[in-house]
Chain A
Amino acid sequence: MDLVGQVGDTLTPQDPAERLSKLRVELLPIDLIVQWRRCSKMADFLAGYFEYHFEDRPVAAQVLSTGLNELIENLAKFSANKQKPVSIEINHYGELLTVTTENEAARPQTTALRARLARMATTDPEELFLEQLEHTASSDRAASGLGLINLKKDYGARLAAEIRAVPDDPERFVVSLQLELNVDAIERG
């Protein structure tokens, strides 16, 4: 199967002129692996930076940190080359907040991500959540596989990825993962 292309939920097109804030960070996955707590620290920092847009700042910070931490952990775990920079970009558009991460991944991880996002786009997240827990428990797998499902279930996040080929390496792909959250879901907590 060709992995390249767009997969997941349909995201809302945004007008850059409507953008209120933007922040983009580049880092090396190896730094996160060496000090795992950096995932959490980076998530908290970014959440703290964006919480000023929200009336209930503590609640918004909790929600944003939770979502960002999952995506940052994934960058650490699933980047194929831990010494190659990955990026996190956050944009705030009044009604919506988007988080885009970009990394290179090997074929198996990219295949798993594609399958997961495709399934998530058509299946009730609560059902997927319970199914995934029973599945991990019975197979005693090392991976937990719950992060993206949980963001969709708890905060109504929309998730999609654009997968591109890496020139000259048929086993590597560029994964651009996008998470879209409604501002009122962030406010509600």
Chain B
Amino acid sequence: MSVEAEYKLEMRADGATLSGVMRLVSPAAYRSALAAVHDQIDAATGPLELDLAGLQFLNSSGITALSRLVMQARERSVTMTVIIDEQVSWQKKTLPSLARLYPKLTLKGR
């Protein structure tokens, strides 16, 4: 399996930024790649911001992985803002549907 990273995950005090191209092989691969974000939601005491604007591509296993983050936030009632770029096709199409999973999730254009 290739280990070259095409994406970048940067953790911030109040959230995380994902950028590049993320097309990992399975939901399990995403689970480990995004472990730090899951931990952050687990430990959150305030709102979090997930910046996806620089994420050019995400495959459907990744959308499932993202929905797991959203559902974890929903379970813990953590307010979440997702920063998006409307010029990026998958973000414009998929993220509004994902937002329907959780009313305390807001999408914000960058």
Contact = CB atoms under 8 A, between A and B. Distances in A.
A83 to B, nearest CB: 18
Interface residues of B, number: 32
Interface in B10-32: 21, 23-28
A40 B63 contact: no
Contacts of B97: 126, 129-130, 153
A63 B68 contact: no
Nearest to B67: A133
Interface in A104-132: 126, 129-130
Contacts of B98: 133
Given A37-B4, A130-B97, A137-B67, A189 B89 contact: yes
Question: What 8 A-B pairs come out closest when comparing CB atoms?
Answer: A154-B93, A144-B64, A147-B60, A146-B60, A189-B89, A62-B89, A133-B67, A144-B61
B1 A36 contact: yes
Given A59-B89, A62-B88, A130 B100 contact: yes
29 contacts: A35-B1, A36-B1, A36-B23, A37-B23, A39-B23, A40-B23, A40-B57, A62-B57, A65-B57, A66-B57, A69-B57, A70-B60, A73-B59, A129-B97, A130-B100, A130-B101, A137-B67, A142-B28, A143-B26, A143-B27, A145-B64, A146-B64, A147-B59, A147-B60, A150-B60, A154-B90, A154-B93, A154-B94, A189-B92
